[in-house]
Amino acid sequence: MIKESDLKILFTEEKIQLEVGKLGAKLNEEYKDEELCLICVLKGSVMFMADLAKHLKMPLKMEFIKLSSYGSGFTSTGRVSAVDIALPDLNGKNVLIIEDIIDTGHTAQFLMNFINHNFKPRTLRFCSLLDKKCKREVEIEADYYCFEIDNKFLVGYGLDYDGYYRNLPYIGFVEGV
Ligand code: IMP
Ligand code: MG
């Protein structure tokens, strides 16, 4: 069990909110005069999606799906399981997937393929709060991200260790893991 006192802060609440606000402004430009459907990948993206959505001014829908690729450890299993992937009709829609972090890229690839196989969206893009580019195992890039990070295991602001710490308003890491 990690103790909160063992965490080193990587991104403060203020820094996160600043970057999320900037991303919101960018999305308002990119999807100006358009409708947008956000797809929140639970559970990790819940904080990011809620904060980002508050900045958005276009007609907006918010959908939620639940995927899982991590066990309770520090490294990605590379296997993605669709726990609940019920989605409305996305044909002809502007769809933006909202993730907490891209690590190996398996989750992102699974989801992009799933949506492309089942629908013909007008646009399909991927937005992640964090991008661990150095860990990528499949070829996939986020269309939008707030922070690039190196190979650290992070918790807070939606990210968990064994289900804990999603509620922290900042993002931290434990040295040595
Ligand atoms: P990927 O399929 O390997 O890209 O993993 C993506 C998922 O792994 C994310 O949506 C997170 O839920 C989880 N994950 C990856 N890195 C971390 C981390 O540093 N802390 C907590 N969860 C992580
Ligand atoms: Mg996730």
Pocket test for ligand 1, best of 2, 48, 76, 155 (most atoms within 8 A of CB): 76
Residue 45 has pLDDT above 90, yes or no: yes
- Taking the CA of residue 110 as reference, the ligand 1 atom at the shortest distance is 2
Calpha distance 61→39 (Å, rounded):
9
pLDDT of residue 1: 75
CB 47 within 8 A of CB 156: no
pLDDT band for 3, please (50, 70, 90 cuts). Answer: confident
pLDDT of residue 60: 98
**Protein residues within 5 Å, CB atom, of ion ligand 2:** 44, 100
Task: For residue 20, list its beta bridge partners.
Answer: none
3-state SS class at 130? strand
Tell me the per-residue pLDDT of 98-132, one tens digit each, with 9 for 90 and over: 999 999 999 999 999 999 999 999 999 999 999 99
86-110 burial, b if ≥16 CB within 10 A, otherwise e?
ebeebeebbbbbbbbbbbbbbbbbb
pLDDT of residue 27: 98
Calpha distance 62→50 (Å, rounded):
9
